[in-house]
């Protein structure tokens, strides 16, 4: 199981939000590029980066930061947040060296774009499914859809997506533990590679996520507050079943 330290960028800074609310932010650093280097130095094998300005607004002032981040570390980066055009997908993957981009709102609202991206880039395209009470949400988690998270996952599978970043919005940033039941349902019913996100607070949380068959786990606030040390998380990720 791959452990992904999370770096959320808003206004050029490294922040964490509570349940995705833009007004409930905590700043953990003014230099996301340096934060990326720190996680790499501590042994991270993959980074999860979210452009929050892009997620909320669609456009973004953070592209140069993201480019510098990709150039400054040797480990791969997956990137999400407001990526809603082939131009931006091409720029991130082919020019900036991002390993994988995550389509969230675009995956729901623009099937043509999703199909085009998967056809061109294959498994370098992942889908982000963010759920509140089992229903998928888009537009930076602000707008709920009528689709259940599992239904959306199955639609993504039909298009050719093989990796989903699954976030329980109610758990995100709350340090209350992950939603294991719904994450397991997503894993079992879609058969896809599910990367779990939201609420991971402790090493036992990670052990449970690994036991239900997740392909990866994203850790944000717990790393920044010291509730989880990256070395311990990486050890669990590398344990054999």
List pLDDT tens digits, range 64-117.
999 999 999 999 999 999 899 999 999 999 999 999 999 987 887 888 999 999
Does residue 172 carry a catalytic annotation?
no
Instruction: Give CA–CA dist 1/118, Å, rounded.
Output: 24
* Set 51, 53, 130, 168: catalytic member: 130
If one compares 80 and 12, the residue with the highest pLDDT of the two is 80
pLDDT higher than threshold 60 for residue 129: yes
Percentage, residues of the chain above pLDDT 70: 85
SS3 for the chain is CEEEEEEEEECCEEEEEECCEEEEEEEEECCHHHHHHHHHHCCCCCEEEEEHHHHHHCCCCCHHHHHHHHHHCCCCEEEECCCCCHHHHHHHHHHCCCCEEEECHHHHHCHHHHHHHHHHHHHHEEEEEEEECCEEEECCCCEEEEEEHHHHHHHHHHHCCCEEEEEEHHHCCCCCCCCHHHHHHHHHHHCCEEEEECCCCCHHHHHHHHHCCCCEEEECHHHHHCCCCHHHHHHHHHCCC
Let me know how long the chain is.
241
Instruction: Give CA–CA dist 39/49, Å, rounded.
Output: 12
Q: pTM here?
A: 0.90
Does residue 87 carry a catalytic annotation?
no
| Most distant CA pair in the chain, distance | 42
Count of the separate structural domains present in the chain: 1
Q: Assign residue 40 the CATH number of its domain.
A: 3.20.20.70
pLDDT of residue 15: 80
pLDDT higher than threshold 80 for residue 147: no
The Cα-based distances of 209 to 27, 41, 98, 119, 214 in angstroms read 27, 25, 26, 31, 6
pLDDT of residue 174: 47
- Sign, CA dihedral 19-21-24-28, equals positive
User: Pairing mode, if any, of strands 143-148 and 135-138?
Assistant: antiparallel
Asked which of 40-54, 128-142, 179-193, 203-217 is least confident by mean pLDDT, the reply is 128-142
Query: Across-strand partners of 94?
Result: none
Structural domain for 9, as ranges: 2-238
pLDDT of residue 141: 44
Instruction: Give CA–CA dist 157/53, Å, rounded.
Output: 28
Q: Which residues contact 186 (CB under 8 A, 6 or more apart)?
A: 129, 149, 150, 153, 164, 166, 192, 194
Q: Choose from 133-142, 180-189, 209-218, 232-241 the range with maximum mean pLDDT.
A: 209-218
């Amino acid at each position: 199981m791959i452990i992904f330290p999370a770096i959320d960028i808003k206004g050029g800074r490294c922040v964490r939000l509570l349940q995705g609310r833009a007004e409930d932010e905590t700043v953990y650093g003014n230099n996301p590029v340096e934060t990326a280097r720190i996680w790499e130095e501590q042994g991270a094998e993959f980074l999860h980066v979210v452009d929050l300005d892009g997620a909320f607004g669609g456009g973004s002032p953070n592209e140069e930061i993201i480019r510098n981040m990709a150039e400054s570390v040797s480990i791969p980066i997956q990137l999400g947040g407001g990526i809603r055009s082939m131009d931006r997908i091409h720029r991130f993957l082919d020019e900036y060296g991002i390993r994988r981009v995550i389509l969230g709102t675009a995956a729901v609202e623009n099937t043509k774009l999703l199909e085009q991206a998967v056809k061109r880039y294959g498994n370098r395209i992942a889908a982000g499914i963010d759920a509140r009470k089992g229903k998928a949400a888009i537009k930076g988690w602000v707008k709920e859809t009528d689709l259940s998270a599992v239904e959306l996952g199955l639609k993504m599978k039909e298009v050719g997506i093989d990796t989903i970043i699954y976030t329980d919005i109610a758990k995100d940033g709350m340090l209350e533990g992950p939603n294991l039941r719904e994450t397991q349902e997503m894993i079992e019913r879609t058969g896809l590679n599910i990367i779990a996100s939201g609420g991971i607070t402790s090493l036992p949380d990670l052990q449970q996520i690994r036991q239900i068959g997740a392909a990866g786990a994203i850790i944000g606030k717990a790393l920044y507050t010291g509730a989880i040390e990256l070395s311990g998380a990486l050890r669990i990720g590398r344990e054999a079943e």
